[in-house]
Amino acid sequence: MKTVIAEKPSVAREIASLLGAETKNEGYFSGNGFFVTWAFGHLVGLAMPDDYGIAGFSKEVLPILPNPFVLTQRRIKQGKEWIPDKNAIRQLKVIKSLFEKSSDIIVATDAGREGELIFRYIYEFVGSNKPFQRLWISSLTEKAIKKGFENLIDGSEFNGLYHAARARSRADWLIGINASQALSVAAGNGIYSLGRVQTPTLALVCKRFLEHQNFVVKPYFQVELLFNKEFISFKSVSKNKWETKKDAQQAWNSIERNGSAEVVNVDSRMVTEQPPLLFDLTCLQKEASKLLNLSADETLKIAQLLYEKQFITYPRTGSRYIPEDVWEEIPKLVNGLGVRKEYAEVITSLKLGRLNKRIVNDLRVTDHHGLLITDKIPSALSAKENAVYHLIASRLLEAVSEVCVKQITDVSLEALHYEFGLRASKIIETGWRAVKGSFDESDSDAHLMELPVLKIGDVLRIKSGSILEKQTKPPALYTEASLLSAMEQAGRDVENLEERAALKEIGIGTPATRATIIETLFSRAYIVRDKKALIPTDKGLEVYQLVKEFKIADIGMTAKWEVALQRIENNEIDDVRFLKEMEEDTLLITKELLDLKFEREKLPHLICPKCKCSSVVIQDKIVKCTDLSCSWIQYRLVCGVTLSIADIESLINSGKTCLIKGMKSKSGKSFEAYIVLDENGKSSFKFVNN
């Protein structure tokens, strides 16, 4: 018998069906010489400090440097305690039993760094020594799975991938556990979380927010002129920018008296726009954020569901290209979309024998190729699933379409001694832009408009004019889409050329982990959403100000890691050497944080509004009575707004806060209200009109 282990039950079910293992058992399928079982993601992980006999946070035990690292089964949170996950324990017993009964193991976890780690940690934890082979596929279609089983790869071929995954896992533990505990110990109040990727990402958000806040907005004024020639109206804007409206008005008055403008230059050129490449995961998340208002985490979960339903290829990819051998499938995939009416017209216009091959590049394909649809076309999806599928399908059609050709015309005019300019764009060949019908995206300065024939020396009568009042703009606050881009493109200021090159290729985090990092910042109450913008909380800004000059916030450290991890994966260096360097980094980071001096806001002494005798403790997320027998608690985050210390003091002392603005209802509508307490300490809203 052979045991096949998949990452999830749904994948195991598909594989079992293809292998003829149709007997359903507790935790596995069996039949035709196979056991097919599954994990639920990470069933096994690195043990926590208490597993090493270290309870609580203490300066004396830091840094914690396990030797050796210990593995433990997954835990879940129950109240304040982390307890073993009964389902994980049960499934690990099943897996161990099947491994013992088998001659060989076939690894069918996701084909990537984390998928490899999931299996290897289980393999080590259950103490197996059975030989294993790897199923390495990018799609869960029947054809891909069958082809994968025909070309199984010896497990030792992926030792480099495993060693890189294990090194990343252990190093993240060292930095994350020790840095978080050290900062919490130094603060003396509250729990803080730091991490190798998490903290530089927080620094990006905070730095941009402060630049935005400190930006001094300055007004300026321009003159806009309206012309009409050959029954075509068009506008031109002054290149001069006046600081006062009075100066702009005086200029316009002079121009109006003159009544005309002369064409001094006309530059018309053809511009060829190549179609976009396929999505990798990060690009898909950015597009879904901008067009569908989906979070990065939500997009990843939807894409994973589409993958498990066999509608798309492996979503956690960092490549936007496909290899030559996949290209032969593309015409069939494109043609298959014709059954959906939204693509029928576009596909009819495509020449399937002459599709654009720009996406073919064997050298640019990593573990997995760019995101593709499969030949299984969905007929019934949820609205969000359908929207994400549409993005992926449309991108494929765009990628294999012809180039878009535009005519860009720049015109310079002179009215008196003032210079005016305009830029117009005209579509000559729609090409790939016909897929979505979007023609004015790539160059915001070039507006789609029809121009009359203009030549140097033409004198145009000014039909009318107006004063445009504008303002200098601060750096835009990050959205999830732009933060993903910043993480992807991080490291441009890193001095070491090799490290900068590594970050240029992969940035900080990986396509599979960036969404989790952003969600972690939300869960730690370091950032919040304001519409689409990401705003740091007071706590997030406090952490940033404390650690911004330290190694834990340094993108360069991540760059050094990524270079090393890539070399481990390629079997160029030993992971033991890398871990030794990480221990040295941990020592430095822990010392820096423990030496921090906190200047904390003095908290008021308040009496519990319910029991009326014990004091309350004010924490980051809650305010609660210190008497364990009293159940009074007040959450500080109320409908998207965090109550300040002054709000808490007013609420407890007078039973009412000041008017709190900017709260959001469940339907997303903004409202303002007072928060009031009744005699039993229960809070509610009091609205202005009531």
What positions carry a catalytic annotation?
A: 314
Question: From residue 313, how far is each of 121, 372, 376, 504 by CA, in Å?
Answer: 26, 5, 11, 25
Per DSSP, the three-state class of 21 is coil
| Strand order across the 670-677 sheet | 660-664, 670-677, 683-686
Task: Taking each helix axis as running N to C, give the angle between helix 113-125 and helix 86-101, from 0 to 180 degrees, rounded to the nearest 10.
Answer: 80
- The C-alpha atoms of residue 1 and residue 222 are separated, in whole angstroms, by 79
- The C-alpha atoms of residue 182 and residue 593 are separated, in whole angstroms, by 6
- The C-alpha atoms of residue 156 and residue 518 are separated, in whole angstroms, by 34
- The C-alpha atoms of residue 409 and residue 671 are separated, in whole angstroms, by 48
Helix (H) or strand (E) holding 218: none
> Cα 148 to chain center, whole Å?
30
- The C-alpha atoms of residue 79 and residue 55 are separated, in whole angstroms, by 17
- The C-alpha atoms of residue 102 and residue 16 are separated, in whole angstroms, by 16
- Spatial neighbors of 578 by CB under 8 A, at least 6 apart, are 167, 171, 564, 565, 568
Helix (H) or strand (E) holding 307: helix 296-308
Helix (H) or strand (E) holding 5: strand 2-6
- The C-alpha atoms of residue 420 and residue 264 are separated, in whole angstroms, by 10
* Nearest residue to 643 via CA among 635, 653, 655, 633: 635
The token duo for 188 is 């003396």
* Nearest residue to 173 via CA among 586, 659, 554: 586
- The C-alpha atoms of residue 543 and residue 534 are separated, in whole angstroms, by 16
Question: From residue 402, how far is each of 323, 337, 347, 357, 686 by CA, in Å?
Answer: 20, 18, 12, 10, 60
Helix (H) or strand (E) holding 35: strand 34-38
- Count Cβ atoms below 10 Å from residue 13 Cβ, excluding itself: 16
DSSP codes, 48-95? PGGGGT--S--GGGPSP--SS--EEE-EEEETTEEEE-HHHHHHHHHH
- Count Cβ atoms below 10 Å from residue 50 Cβ, excluding itself: 10
Q: Are 511 and 320 in contact (CB under 8 A)?
A: no
Phi, psi of 36 (to 5 degrees): -125, 115
